[in-house]
Structure 1
Amino acid sequence: MWQIFTRFLALGFISFGGPAAHIGYFRQTFVNDLNWLDDKRYGSFVALSQFMPGPGSSQVGFAIGYHRGGLAGAIAAFVGFTLPSFILLFLLAVTSAQWLEADAVVGMIHGLKLLAVVVVADATLGMFSQFCQRKTARMMMVTTAVCLILFPAMLTQIMVLLVAAILGVVFLTRGENITPDNQPIKLNYGWLALFIIGILSTFYFINQTGTLGQIFAQFFQVGSLVFGGGHVVLPLLEANVGEMVSPDRFLTGYALAQAVPGPMFTLATFLGADLWLENPLLGALVATFAIFVPGFLLMLVGLKSWHALSERPAISGAIAGVNAAVVGLLLAALYNPVFTSAVVEPSDMALVFLGFSLLKIFKPNIVILVAGFAATGALLAVF
C-alpha cells in the first residue's frame, strides 16, 4: 500500500496538463517503467473510464491501484494522486494568491504546460501503435479526432464513443483473443446500491441551505453527471454552486485548478473551502469527497470482472473500437487544450521538439524532464 501511495503521490506533484497528460504519465510510469500491467489491460481501464461519469484520469489511477492492491490499493492511489492538488488549492483558497503573478512562477507553469505537450504526444503515439493496427481502427481514430476538433463538446465525445463501440462490434471482433461467453462474470451490486442511495440522498440534502449536507449533495450530483471529466466539470459546477460564490472567485478557482498538478476535479477543494467559511478544511474535504466518490462507486461495480468481461466476443470488439476512439480523443486533446494553451511562440515549439526528442532517444526519468522544463520556463520568463 505504501508503494502504491508513494508512486501516485510523486505523480500527483508533477502531473500537469489535465486528463490527457495524466493518462500519458500513468502509461509511462505503470506500463513502461514499473510493468505493473500491460498495454491491453491499461487500455481496458482507459476505455472503462470513458463510459463512466466522473474524473477520467483519476478513475484510471483508481483502477490501477485496485489492480495492484485491491480496494485499499485503489484508495491509496486516489489519496496519493489527489493530495498535492488538494493541499495546494486549499492553501490558495484561504491565503493570498498574489505570488502567482511572479514572473518566475508564471514561467515555471508555462514550462510545465510545454512538458504536457510532450507527454500527451508520446502517449498518443504509443497508444496508436497498440490500438490502431487495423485500417478500420485508424479510420475510427482519425474520424474521432476530426469530430472533436471541429465540435469540442461533451455530447460529441459521448456520441463518437458510442458509435465507435458499435462499429467495433461489427468490424473489429474477428481475430481478437477472447474468453468463452460462458465464463462467469460477477458484478458487485453492493457498490451500485451505495451509488443509488447517494443519488437519492442528494434530493433531500440539496434544499438544506447553508449546511454541509447541501455542499455534499451539490458536488455529488456534479460528480454523477460529468462524462469526459476535466474541463467538462466547469459548466456543471457553475450551474450548481455558481450562485453561492462570486463569478470572479469561481473563475479564479478554475484558473488555479488548471495551474496546479493533479486532477481538475480538485476545483471542488477550492470551492468547498469558500462555501464553508466557518471551517474551510471541512468544507474542502466534503466537497472533494462528494465529487470523486460517485465515479469510483460505479467503477467498483464491474472493475473486478472488467478485464474478463472485456474479452468476450461482442464486448472485445466494442472495446477495440473504443480504444481506437480514445486515441482520437488523445489526439484531439493534444491539439486543444494542451497544444493551443501552451505553444504560443516559435521558442515554445522548439522546446517541445527538443523535449520529445530527448524522451524518445534517451528515455530519461519523468522527474528529470519536469525539473528541466520548469527551470527552463522560469529562466526564460525572468531573463
Structure 2
Amino acid sequence: MKALFEVLIVSFKLGCTSFGGPIAHLGYFHNEYIKRRRWLDERSYADLVALAQFLPGPASSQVGIGIGLLRAGWLGGVAAWIGFTLPSVILLLLFALFMQGFDLGTSGWIHGLKIVAVAIVAQAVLSMGQKLTPDRNRVTIAILAAAVTLLWQTAVSQLFVLVVGGGIGYFWYRQKSGATIHSLTVPISRGAGAVCLSLFFIFLVGLPILRHSYEADWLALIESFYRSGSLVFGGGHVVLPLLEREVVPTGWISKADFLTGYGAAQAVPGPLFTIAAYLGAMINGVKGAILAIVAIFLPAFLLMAGTLPYWNTLRQHEKVQGALIGVNAAVVGILLAALYNPLWLSAVDSSRDFVLGLLLFGMLVYWKLPPWIVVLVGAAGGELLTLL
C-alpha cells in the first residue's frame, strides 16, 4: 500500500509539472524516477523507453504506466496513469466548460514553458547520451538516427529508425554487449499479459462492429477515441489530425472549437492525449470527458501490461541485448532531433530566449534544482521577456 501511494503522489507531481510534450516528459521521468528515486537502473529505463517507442500510443504515458506496474503491480499502473493525467484532465475539462473563449496561445508564460522543455530535453540528451552512447559506434548510430528523424519527418520515421538501430546493434553487439542486465520483477504473469493483448485486439475489431450495429452516441464516442489511441505512432501530436477527422466532420464540434482545445492542450502539463477530456466535454459534458479519456488511454495500458512480461524475458538474451544497445543509441538520436525540431525551433526565437534556456539548463544540470522550480522560473522568465 505504501508503494502504491508513493506511485500516485510522485506521478501526480509529475503530472503537475511536466510541460513540453512526450520527449520532455521522458526527461522529467528520468530525473524523478531514475536519478532521484532509483526505482530502475539506467539500462532498464532505457529499455522501457524503447518498448514504449515501439508500441502505438502515448509513449511517455506508457513509460509511466510501466514504471507504476513494476513498482506496485496492477494498481500501481493505474495509479501512475491517474496521477500523471489527472491535472491536465481537470484543467482541460474546466477549460471546456468555463473558458472556451480565452486565448492562451500568445501568453508569455507559455513561451517560457516551451523554453523549459528545451532545457529539460537538453538535460536528457546529455545524461542519456553519456550512458547509452559511450563509444564511436553508438555515437554514429545516434547521429544517423537524428539525421534521418529530422530529414524524414513522417509518422513511421521514428519506428523505422528504431528498427534499423536495433538491426545494427544486433550485428555489432550481439556477442559483446558485456552489460549487466538487472532482471525486472514484473508482477504480471505471461497469461495475464496474453489476456491484455487479446483484449486490445478484441476492442479494436469489436467496437467498430458494435458501433455500426447499435446507434448510440456514447458507443460511437468510445469507438472513435479508442481507435485513435490504438493507431498512433509518433506521439501526441500525431493523434491530433486523427481526432480532428473523428470529431469535426461528424459535427460533434466545430473546427474552431477543436483548434481552441489544441491551444489549451499545449498550455497544460501532462500528456497531449488529455485533449480527449476537452473534446469529450465539448461533445457530452463531464460524462463525455470521462468516456473519451478512458477510451483513448485504454490501448496504452493494455499494450504495456500485455508486452511487459514478455519484454522482461526477451531483454535477457544476449542477441536481444545487442539489438537493444542499438535501439537505445537510436533513442538518444531521436531525443537529439526533438531537441532541435520541434522544441528549439518553436521556443528559441532570440538571444534573450537562448539566455533564459541556458539559465534553466544550468539550474537543472549543475545547480540540481527541482524541476518544479525550473518550471516556475521558466514561466516567469517567459512573461518577463514579453515586457522587455
Q: TM-score, normalised by structure 1?
A: 0.93
Distance 1:91 1:49 in 2: 30
- Structure 2 residue 195 is matched with structure 1 residue 194: no
- Structure 2 residue 334 is matched with structure 1 residue 334: no
Alignment of 1:83-94 (within 5 A): 83-94=86-97
Distance 2:114 2:361 in 1: 13
Distance 2:31 2:230 in 1: 29
Q: Secondary structure at the match of 1:21?
A: helix
Alignment of 1:21-60 (within 5 A): 21-60=24-63
Which residue in the other structure is 2:368 paired with? 363
- Structure 2 residue 259 is matched with structure 1 residue 246: no
Alignment of 1:121-200 (within 5 A): 121-176=122-177, 177=179, 186=190, 188-200=193-205
Which residue in the other structure is 2:184 paired with? none
Distance 1:174 1:128 in 2: 22
1:262 to 270, 273, 280: 270
Give the Å deviation of 1:150: 1.4
One-letter amino acid of the counterpart of residue 237, structure 1: L
Distance 1:48 1:296 in 2: 13
Which residue in the other structure is 2:210 paired with? 205
Query: Could you list the per-position Cα deviations for residues 20-66 of structure 1 after superposition, in whole angstroms to 9, with x for gaps in the alignment?
Result: 00000000001111111111110011000011111100000001111
User: Contact (CA 8 Å) 1:88, 1:260: kept in 2 or not?
Assistant: yes
One-letter amino acid of the counterpart of residue 266, structure 2: Q
Which residue in the other structure is 1:228 paired with? 234
Could you tell me which runs of 5 or more consecutive residues in structure 1 were left unpaired when the two chains were aligned: 180-184
User: Contact (CA 8 Å) 2:228, 2:243: kept in 1 or not?
Assistant: yes
Distance 2:328 2:361 in 1: 24
Q: Secondary structure at the match of 1:116?
A: helix
1:11 to 1, 10, 14: 14
Kindly report the root-mean-square deviation, in angstroms, between the aligned alpha carbons of the 2 structures: 1.8
Total equivalences in the alignment: 373
Distance 1:72 1:382 in 2: 47
Q: Secondary structure at the match of 1:154?
A: coil
Residues 63-72 or 207-216, more deviating: 207-216
Could you tell me which runs of 5 or more consecutive residues in structure 2 were left unpaired when the two chains were aligned: 182-188
Give the Å deviation of 1:343: 0.9
Query: Could you list the per-position Cα deviations for residues 152-189 of structure 1 after superposition, in whole angstroms to 9, with x for gaps in the alignment?
Result: 1112122111111211211122322478xxxxx94621
Q: Secondary structure at the match of 2:386?
A: helix
Give the Å deviation of 1:233: 0.8
Give the Å deviation of 1:382: 4.6
Distance 1:115 1:45 in 2: 24
2:287 to 282, 292, 308: 282
Residues 55-64 or 223-232, more deviating: 223-232
Which residue in the other structure is 1:182 paired with? none
Runs of 4+ in 1 over 6 A off after TM superposition: none
Q: Secondary structure at the match of 2:234?
A: coil
Q: Secondary structure at the match of 1:36?
A: coil
One-letter amino acid of the counterpart of residue 212, structure 1: W
User: Contact (CA 8 Å) 2:22, 2:60: kept in 1 or not?
Assistant: yes
Which residue in the other structure is 2:386 paired with? 381
User: Contact (CA 8 Å) 2:197, 2:307: kept in 1 or not?
Assistant: no
| Alpha-carbon spacing, 1:134–1:308, altered in 2? closer, same or farther (3 Å) | farther
Give the Å deviation of 1:238: 2.0
| Alpha-carbon spacing, 1:273–1:324, altered in 2? closer, same or farther (3 Å) | same
Distance 2:68 2:355 in 1: 36
Which residue in the other structure is 1:71 paired with? 74
Q: Secondary structure at the match of 2:176?
A: coil
Give the Å deviation of 1:225: 0.5
The alignment-based identity, stated in percent, is: 42
Give the Å deviation of 1:67: 1.2
Distance 1:69 1:8 in 2: 13
Q: Secondary structure at the match of 2:156?
A: helix
